[in-house]
Structure 1
Amino acid sequence: MGSPIPIANLYYLLCYAWDRLDQGRLVDVSPLQSTELADLFALVLCDGIHHLARRGLEQSYDVREEELSGIRGRIDISHSLRRSLFFQGRAHCRFDELTVDTLANRILKSTLVALLEVKELDPKLRHRAYRTAQLLHGIRPFRLSQRDFERVRVTSNNLFYRFLLGVCKLVFESLLVDERTGETKFRDFTRDEAKMALLFQSFLFNFIARECSGWKVKSENIAWQATSATDPELRLLPRMQTDISAFRLGEYRIIDAKFYQRSVGSYFGSEKFHSDNLYQICSYLLNARRVGDVQASGVLVYPRVDRQIRQRYEIAGRTVSIYTIDLNAPWRAIDKELRELML
């Protein structure tokens, strides 16, 4: 089953969310007609690896041990004596050898090899992924684990590697193996509201920071404007942390990004906005301190599912706006819609 969001749009969401837009633009996904996520990531990895290969794959020194007829590096005297190698004109040596078989490269190749097992993968992309994996000669694929992504290190001057490793991690988290049939399937994370909520939030944060001139953004903790004789430090009250607090001269907005399969909820047969979201944004606004003489306004942003929403309310003296963004529109339209939201 394909992604409910166009593949090219989802790619831009990920690039913004990871704050890797410049690196993501090195891969052109616009020709991809498929709606399958496995096809998207196979294309990105194939193009990305070819880009790395043209620039030169990452290399590092690896310690090797070998019995040699000459001398290279350091001689392991005890090992050589124990095996009587000196009498044979040989020595056991330890030396550093420059290799492309680094952890980062092994993750790239291992991810490609894993994608080859995905049943839904387009045959042409499967062939291309196979050929690209062959390009990584001398790099050993292995069974990936979460720990591998935690311990991989990439130098700061090669951000494209970081971008591709982010793709690999998402692939790793999305692959499912059917224990009964042994088939590998790609889990569609776009249908997981919790995962997509985090992605949508990160996307909005970085889009505003990058594209909306004059705005500064951060996530902030808002202190309760409350007192208590029984809980003087207010430790039992839940923490209020904004998704996005946006500031510019004369304006302060608290923006909450939400992701639901429906733009509105249902209450006794009537359509209503999601009450928890409204209660949350109102709590933020009622407790947020002024920035200078500027009072915070609130914005709830949803992906458009079934209709466009543009509503504004005055609640307890605070302005609350509710908007939807059409993630199925052409990317230029999404870009324009978001810029207008921040006018």
Structure 2
Amino acid sequence: MTDEKRKLSSIQIKNLYYMLAYAFQVLQKGDYADIEAEEFDFVEDLLAAILAKGIANQIKKGLGREYLPKSESLSTLRGKIELSASFRQQSLLKKQLVCEYDDFSMNSYLNQVLKTTSLFLIRSPLVHSYRKKDLKKILPFFNDVDTLDLRHFRWSNIKYNRNNATYKMLINICYFVFKRMLQTEESGSHKISHFNIIQNMPQLYERFILEYYRKHYPEFNVSAGYINWNVDDGFSSFLPQMKSDIMIEHCGKILIIDAKYYEKSMQRNPLFDSTKLHSNNLYQIFTYVKNKDVSGLGNVSGMLLYAKTDEEIFPDFDYMMSGNRISAKTLDLNSDFAEICFKLDTLIEKWQFEVSNVVETDLSQK
């Protein structure tokens, strides 16, 4: 096993595919079934496989076009005439005028991102040769599309609508590749730093858990809801927003899950040789729970769900704090995906049993 594959042992690449499949549900459709059956040695190879299949599907549907401003010398009038530019370029000598108009073009930012990312993956030594052939097959469809310098590209400026909604998953895959590209260039090596496969893995981890519970537990209300501050005078101006990663509601009970993807899930004080939970994480989940439990009935629980690291001590604790249950648990992303599902099911079903038990007790007392 190479050094890089050893470093990947903190999370199986196949599990990364499953997490992406839940986060972007389009990957669960039949078009991507063959990807699930493949084995991948490197993250880039997996992302290249998804991108090649996804772009090919997008080409079948039709590449998106946008109205883009264009200026050129024309013999026939089109759009708005630019007289100053016409005199400056001496277009009149050719019996032409410089016109500015909107061109319905394929050279949109979204297509530029797809082309630029595909070219990077084709040059990557971590992408299999036959995957590169799949990417090269789609490049002729992007002949009229420019490339970008993704270092200066503002990803936050991308806006999705009904016309380009099918690009959302593809652009997110490109973003993952872009982050890996920067990491590789900054380190001067293709080796992956420990427990940091892609830079925005925490967001993917959070989204995976949210979508997993949404899909497999439709009887619950699963969301990433906001939590209002429980202020006495009703004045909450200037207070920061509180938004849960995952909030599950059932039978009048609420479970707030805060997904944590850290290199170290416990904090250690070498001076006193002690290991404890991250204090800020515990303060955060406790604040969420107590502000959500407005009536103080204890019907709100909180859970810190850490991705497992190679630490000897990892979170597996339950506490009762001021009438509310606060837990800290661990999810091993390096285990078989069936075991990951079993762990997630066990956590939620244990909570469901506790909820049902409380509800039955309350009903028996009436």
Normalising by structure 1, we get a TM-score of 0.75
SS of 1:140's equivalent in the other structure is: coil
Match of 1:281 among 285, 294, 311: 285
Match of 1:149 among 152, 155, 164: 155
Count of equivalent residues? 332
2:85 is the counterpart of 1:85 = no
Q: Is the 1:176–1:185 Cα contact (8 Å) retained in structure 2?
A: no
2:201 is the counterpart of 1:199 = no
AA paired with 1:303? Answer: A
AA paired with 1:35? Answer: D
- Matching residue of 2:217: 212
Q: Do the aligned partners of residues 65 and 330 (structure 1) sit closer, same or farther apart at CA in structure 2, a change above 3 Å counting?
A: same
2:113 is the counterpart of 1:104 = no
1:208-247 alignment to 2 at 5 Å?
Answer: 208-216=213-221, 217-221=223-227, 223=229, 241-247=243-249
AA paired with 2:337? Answer: W
Q: Do the aligned partners of residues 48 and 189 (structure 1) sit closer, same or farther apart at CA in structure 2, a change above 3 Å counting?
A: farther
- Matching residue of 2:59: 53
Following superposition, the deviation at residue 77 of structure 1 comes to 9.2
Following superposition, the deviation at residue 158 of structure 1 comes to 4.0
Q: Do the aligned partners of residues 135 and 7 (structure 1) sit closer, same or farther apart at CA in structure 2, a change above 3 Å counting?
A: farther
Q: Do the aligned partners of residues 157 and 179 (structure 1) sit closer, same or farther apart at CA in structure 2, a change above 3 Å counting?
A: closer
Following superposition, the deviation at residue 287 of structure 1 comes to 4.7
Unaligned regions of 5+ residues in structure 2, if any? 350-366
Q: Is the 1:72–1:95 Cα contact (8 Å) retained in structure 2?
A: no
2:304 is the counterpart of 1:300 = yes
1:254-333 alignment to 2 at 5 Å?
Answer: 254-266=256-268, 268-269=272-273, 272-290=276-294, 293=297, 295-305=299-309, 311-333=317-339
AA paired with 1:207? Answer: Y
In 2, Cα distance between equivalents of 1:133 and 1:72? 34
CA deviations 1:258-298 (Å, max 9, x no partner) are: 22345545454465544543444344444543469552122
SS of 2:210's equivalent in the other structure is: helix
Q: Is the 1:174–1:188 Cα contact (8 Å) retained in structure 2?
A: no
Q: Percent identity?
A: 24
Following superposition, the deviation at residue 109 of structure 1 comes to 0.2
AA paired with 2:25? Answer: L
Q: Do the aligned partners of residues 210 and 67 (structure 1) sit closer, same or farther apart at CA in structure 2, a change above 3 Å counting?
A: same
Following superposition, the deviation at residue 161 of structure 1 comes to 0.8
Q: Do the aligned partners of residues 334 and 72 (structure 1) sit closer, same or farther apart at CA in structure 2, a change above 3 Å counting?
A: farther
SS of 1:342's equivalent in the other structure is: helix
- Matching residue of 2:344: 338
SS of 2:60's equivalent in the other structure is: helix
Following superposition, the deviation at residue 36 of structure 1 comes to 1.6
Mean alpha-carbon deviation: is it higher for 189-198 or for 209-218? 189-198
SS of 1:320's equivalent in the other structure is: strand
Q: Do the aligned partners of residues 193 and 109 (structure 1) sit closer, same or farther apart at CA in structure 2, a change above 3 Å counting?
A: closer
Q: Is the 2:266–2:315 Cα contact (8 Å) retained in structure 1?
A: no
SS of 2:320's equivalent in the other structure is: strand
Normalising by structure 2, we get a TM-score of 0.71
Following superposition, the deviation at residue 156 of structure 1 comes to 1.7
Cα RMSD for the two superposed structures: 4.1
Mean alpha-carbon deviation: is it higher for 272-281 or for 132-141? 272-281
SS of 1:209's equivalent in the other structure is: helix
AA paired with 2:302? Answer: G
Q: Do the aligned partners of residues 245 and 163 (structure 1) sit closer, same or farther apart at CA in structure 2, a change above 3 Å counting?
A: same
Following superposition, the deviation at residue 111 of structure 1 comes to 1.2
CA deviations 1:65-100 (Å, max 9, x no partner) are: 5556x74745959549853334xxx77666665432
In 1, Cα distance between equivalents of 2:186 and 2:265? 38
2:258 is the counterpart of 1:252 = no
SS of 1:125's equivalent in the other structure is: helix
Match of 1:136 among 139, 142, 150: 142
More helix by share: 2
Q: Is the 1:32–1:40 Cα contact (8 Å) retained in structure 2?
A: no
